[in-house]
Amino acid sequence: MVDQRANSQEQLNEIKSLLARREVKRADVLITRLLRSPLTGQSEIDLLLLRVEARIVTERPEDAFQDIQTLKSRFSASQRLPPILRQLEADAFLLRYEMALVGFADKGDIQAARGIYEALLQEEPDYDNTGWVNYQLGRSALMLSDVELAERYFKSALFSPSSLPDLTAYCYERLGFIAYYEKRSAEQACMFLDKAIHTYPAHAPVLWLIRVHLLKSRVLRTVQPLEALKSIDEAEKLASYARSIQRAILAEIALVRGEILSDIPGQSARTIEALQEFLQASKLPPGVDVTWSRAYEMLADAHYREGNFERAAEMYENTLRYNPDHPWENALLYRTALSHYHAGDYARALNILERVIPHWDEVGADAFSGYVLYGDVLTALSRVSSASYAYDLAMQHAPAGADITEIKQKKHAIQQVTRER
C-alpha cells in the first residue's frame, strides 16, 4: 500500500512538472491513463484538479467547468471546498470572459471570478497561492479599465505567497504594461520589464519571455531605437533556441523589427527585408487586416525612400486594399499618385489625383502639396493650361509662411511654353 501511494505521488509530481513546463499534451495523456485505473477518493480529486489546470492552460474553459462540477460533487454541502478548487473555478470564469468575442463577453463571468478571488483572500488567508489570486484580480481590474486597482493588486501579488515560480515576473510585466500604455512612462516601463526578464525562471517556457522582449522593444522604439533593436535581437535569439515556435511569433518579431527600422534614417533596405519576412511568416488574411495594411504602408515608404517608385505605388495600393476605411485614405492616395509620377506613369497619377481632389478641403488633407503635384502631372502630360490653373489653386491653398517661389517659377515656365506656341 505504501509503495502504491508513493508511486501515485510520484506520478502526480510528474504531471505537475509537465504542466509547469507547458507540456500539456503529455500531461493530459498521463492524467487520462491514471483516471482509468482504480483510484482512492483523494487521488481522483488530485488528478481531476490537475486536469482542470491543464484545460485552463489550453484555453478550454467549458471542459474545465465539467471537471469542476464533478469535483464539487465529491464534497458534501457542509464541507468547505478546497481553496485550489475555488481558485481554479475563478480562473475558468475569467478565461471564459477573456475568450468571448468582442461584444459577446458575459460580464457575469468576470464578476463571478472576482467574487471568488475576493472571498478566497478573506476566508483563506493562509492559502499558499494568494499571490496568484491577487495577480488574477489585477488582471480582471485591468480588463475593466480600473488601472489604479489593478496596480495595487499586482504589487500585492509580489509580496504574497505563490506556488507559481513565474509569478513575480508576470507581475512585473503587467506593471511595465501599465507604466507604458496607461502612464506613458517609457523609463518606468523599461525598469519593470527588465525586472520581469531577470526574475523569469530559466526553466520556464521561453515564449512568454519572447513576448516581454517584444513589449520592451515597442516601449524603446521612439526613445532609444538602437536599444529597441537589441531587444528584438534577444527575442529572435530566444526563438532560435526554442524546440518549436509558432509562426505567428516569428512574424511578430519581424514586424516589430520593421517598425523600429522604419523610424531610423538610412535603414530602408533593412526595413524592407524585415517586413517581407513578416509577410512570408504570416497567414494570408481573408479580408480587411489593419496589421497587414500597416506593414504595407511601411514597406511603401521604405521603397519610396529607396527610389523604387513602382514598387512603392503597389505597396500603397495594398495598404488601402487591406484597410479600405483607412483614416488617412486621401493622404495615402496622394503618396500613391506621387510614386506613379516619379515612376513616369503620369496617366495613373492623374487618375488618382482627380479622384481625391474633391475631398481635399472636406477632410483637411494637404491640398497645397496635392495641387502642386496635380500641376506637375498635368505639365508632364503637356496639358499646360490646366497645369497653370492647378498651380494657382496650390498658391491659394498655401499655408501661412509657405515658400511659393518654385510654384511661381513652374507657372512662369509653362506660360513661356504657351506663348512660344
Indicate if the pLDDT at residue 412 is higher than 80. Answer: yes
> What is the share, in percent, of the chain residues with pLDDT greater than 90?
63
Taking residues 58-82, what's their average pLDDT?
Answer: 91
* Residue at 408: amino acid letter: K
Domain assignment present for 163: no
Query: Which pTM does this prediction carry?
Result: 0.83
Distance CA 144, CA 197 (A): 27
Domain assignment present for 417: yes
- State the pLDDT at residue 1: 43
- State the pLDDT at residue 21: 75
Burial of 293-307, coded b for 16+ CB within 10 Å and e otherwise, reads bbbbbbbbbbbbbee
**pLDDT, tens only, 347-382:** 999 999 998 888 776 544 578 888 999 999 999 999
Domain assignment present for 381: yes
Taking residues 379-400, what's their average pLDDT?
Answer: 89
Domain assignment present for 392: yes
DSSP code for 263: T
Distance CA 170, CA 301 (A): 37
Average pLDDT, the chain: 90
Taking residues 279-290, what's their average pLDDT?
Answer: 92
Helix (H, G, I), strand (E, B) or coil at 183: coil
Helix (H, G, I), strand (E, B) or coil at 9: helix
The answer to whether residues 123 and 86 touch, using CB atoms and an 8 Å cutoff, is no
Number of domains in the chain: 1
Q: pLDDT-derived band of residue 205, with 50, 70 and 90 as boundaries?
A: confident
Domain assignment present for 416: yes
DSSP code for 192: H
Domain assignment present for 323: no
Helix (H, G, I), strand (E, B) or coil at 106: coil
Domain around 421: 366-421
Domain assignment present for 270: no
**pLDDT, tens only, 80-122:** 899 999 999 999 999 999 998 666 668 999 999 999 999 999 9
- State the pLDDT at residue 106: 84
Domain assignment present for 400: yes
Distance CA 213, CA 294 (A): 21
